[in-house]
Structure 1
């Protein structure tokens, strides 16, 4: 099976098993933010079937500077609130954009991630294109526990993460 087919099949399987419990995720994310001394955090507004970041985002907005992604043409950028529904019906910020080099911690959505830092996204490549120019060592995929796999199908253009956060653990890569 080629990589594109393997990714497509894995996306179907994972989406059929979502959502799962996010209990404990807030504590893991809070622990990560404190461990990295993050004052400028890139997060995202989760969709209904994604791990629930709402409590963490509320906490981070009070204790740090919190940034959310938005799509501008075919590129991703991060900015602060207020949020409004964007192109893909995802809540997007309306504030001024921040340089990726100014972010201390970057949380990225994923359908799966592995111990080598490979992450399976939704297939549109927004995060992969954005991560091409990000030098941070604090890029973490957020997934449910069952979505940490031995190996995620990947292509050379797929950008790796430095860690994984689940409701029960932090995994450094």
Structure 2
């Protein structure tokens, strides 16, 4: 059997995600949200950089609302050409539909935090922390430029494969949370 390309895996796993029922999304998202909100990484962080979920992704909206309630500094991404920047939001009303139909911050202060948690999206992951994202390379570049942030990814169990091929420029998250597992890839254990 030939190894699938990133593009093939991306297409196949987007289709699988679209096929999830609202109940499957809700149940899995609640399990991941509970793990994340109970983690010492979350409890100890002041800044949470997080995308707004769409298209049956693991729900991040409830995490955003909880983080705002917990007085975290919450920032959401906006793309500018080849780069992505995060803008602080004070509530869901700070988000407007932008490019590609994605909710993004409107008229909010741009942040450049050197520490905190960065939530990283992905379509397919492997047990070694490699990820296939949406193909733009925005998060790979952002993680490389902000090594002090703890990168955490959320995935459904079926999105984690034994191994996927990766490129030299691919950045790995520090942690991957699924409904049934917490994978840690922290090289230097930032929290010991």
Q: TM-score, normalised by structure 2?
A: 0.80
Can you give the 5+ residue segments of structure 1 that lack an aligned partner in the other structure? none
Once the two structures are superposed, residues 38-72 of structure 1 have per-residue CA deviations (whole angstroms, 9 ceiling, x without a partner) of 11111110012211112111101111111111101
Pick aligned residue for 1:76 from 84, 91, 103: 84
Separation (CA, whole Å) in 1 of partners of 2:43 and 2:164: 26
- Contact residue 118 and residue 149 of structure 2 kept, 8 A: no
**1:157 corresponds to:** 169
Select the structure that is richer in helix: 2
Structure 1 residue 34, shift from structure 2 partner: 5.1
Pick aligned residue for 1:45 from 17, 39, 52: 52
Can you give the 5+ residue segments of structure 2 that lack an aligned partner in the other structure? 186-192
Tell me: higher relative CO, structure 1 or 2? Use CA pairs within 8 A at least 6 residues apart.
1
Separation (CA, whole Å) in 2 of partners of 1:84 and 1:117: 32
Q: How does 1:3-42 map to 2 (within 5 A)?
A: 6-18=5-17, 19=20, 20-21=24-25, 22-32=29-39, 37-42=44-49
Once the two structures are superposed, residues 139-166 of structure 1 have per-residue CA deviations (whole angstroms, 9 ceiling, x without a partner) of 0111111112211221111111111012
Cα root mean square deviation, aligned: 1.9
Query: How many residue pairs are counted as aligned between the two chains?
Result: 170
Q: TM-score, normalised by structure 1?
A: 0.88
Separation (CA, whole Å) in 2 of partners of 1:169 and 1:35: 17
**1:108 corresponds to:** 120
- Contact residue 78 and residue 105 of structure 2 kept, 8 A: yes
- Contact residue 57 and residue 66 of structure 1 kept, 8 A: yes
Separation (CA, whole Å) in 2 of partners of 1:33 and 1:13: 34
